[in-house]
Amino acid sequence: MTFGAPLISTVGLKAIAGEMGGARSVPALGGSLAWLGSALGGVMMGRLAHRFGVRWTVMAGSVSVCLGLFISTLGEPWLLYLGHGVFIGFLGMGGLNAPLYVYVSQWFERRRGSALALLSSGSYIAGVVWPLVFEHTISTWGWRATMMGYGVLEAGVVLVLASRFLRPAADVAVRAAEHKGGERPTVFGLRPNTVFVMLACAAFLCCIPMAMPQSHLVALCSDRGLPAAVGAAMLSVLLAAAFISRQAWGLVADRIGGLRTALISSVMQAAAVSGYLYVTEQFGLFTVSIAFGLGFSALIPAYVLAVREAFPAKEAYWRVPSLMLMSGCGMAVGGWLAGYMYDRYASYDPAFFTGVLTNVANLVLLATLVVLQFRWMRRAVA
């Protein structure tokens, strides 16, 4: 429900831009600020959830998303930025996303990768269900009525579910880590924070190209002569492929670990993003979008799993939100950059080319970490 809120700006990008001076960078920046706010807010909300419980951050976040949608309808670009960046992102999604990753990871040991994959699929369920609904409601009642109606629905559903089901998290893993005697002196032979910075930078770089198709696919289809309904359907198909494949990726991560899963997924994402540079017809765009969904869907839960595998459980409450901060910044940069480069060059090709380059840089970091992990494991066995 919560991840449906930023999708209204994605589906209604052209309609919103038309009422705000015609620049697509305005609604694109609003969506980017929602992701950036979510990333920044996750660090603070993770600490609050650690202290007071995840139920309260989730309930407060749901109300904030509703308020943010109402504020975004008031007609000025700066109010759209405020509603999306502060209320939907920082206080809203920030109160749910990272705290729930930490919460769920504390309940599972053997199947943690599968559990994280299932949790992270919520955004893709939203992507499958809501674009077609929003495309209809925006064309019928307008984007403002869509935002207000969805805000009320989201707050009501999340408040009921959070009050009913979010009990205090299991802390077996945290207690076990504390009994082992504290922090590891090294990770893969390096200082722990060095490895963490490399992971965080990799997450930032991979999320720049990840955000571009998700934020601009409907507009891209329109530019290539396809109806908005086809673009919305394509976005839903993309996210449906991501949802289905993410469950399989969770099983893969349980077997080979988070780092290697992220590396394989990133290779597939880079190949798919490059396809948007060459494909222009409807069938080809559907094919590339499915490939993109299959490829990128493993990345975020794989990064979270890699953090839980490499670092003590008692540090999860700040390391996981910090990692999500970097991934959210990447999503924010990617969504905004695509809109900015379109306004500058009247084409999405420069943006997707830039996305491929950042993906290659991500692959260099991930490959380095995988090699370091492999060498460290060999020395540990020897």
Predicted confidence band of residue 382 (pLDDT cuts 50, 70, 90): low
pLDDT of residue 114: 83
In a domain, 91, yes or no: yes
Q: State yes or no: pLDDT of 138 exceeds 70.
A: yes
Long-range contacts formed by 151-155: CB under 8 A, 24+ apart: 151/5, 151/65, 151/66, 151/67, 151/68, 151/69, 151/70, 152/66, 153/1, 154/1, 154/2, 154/4, 154/5, 154/62, 154/65, 154/66, 154/69, 155/62, 155/63, 155/65, 155/66
pLDDT of residue 358: 96
In a domain, 234, yes or no: yes
Tell me the CATH number at 196: 1.20.1250.20
pLDDT of residue 180: 47
In a domain, 6, yes or no: yes
Distance (Å, whole) CA 281 – CA 286: 9
pLDDT in tens, 294-303: 999 999 899 9
Question: Mean pLDDT, to the nearest integer, of 126-151?
Answer: 89
In a domain, 173, yes or no: no
Beta-bridge partners for 187: 190
pLDDT in tens, 164-189: 887 776 554 454 444 444 445 788 88
In a domain, 324, yes or no: yes
In a domain, 172, yes or no: no
- DSSP calls for 69-105: HHHHTTS-HHHHHHIIIIIIIIIIIHHHHHHHHHHHH
pLDDT of residue 236: 82
Q: Which domain holds residue 224?
A: 2-167+183-381
In a domain, 176, yes or no: no
Does pTM surpass 0.85? no
pLDDT of residue 177: 47
pLDDT of residue 169: 61
pLDDT in tens, 254-296: 999 999 999 999 999 999 999 999 888 899 999 999 999 999 9
pLDDT of residue 268: 95
Distance (Å, whole) CA 242 – CA 300: 12
Q: Structural domain tally of the chain?
A: 1
Backbone angles phi, psi at 347, to 5 degrees: -160, 150
Question: Mean pLDDT, to the nearest integer, of 94-105?
Answer: 85
CA 108 to each of CA 53, 95, 98, 114, 311: distance values in angstroms, whole numbers, following the listed order: 18, 21, 16, 9, 16
In a domain, 177, yes or no: no
- Per the prediction, the chain carries an average pLDDT of 87
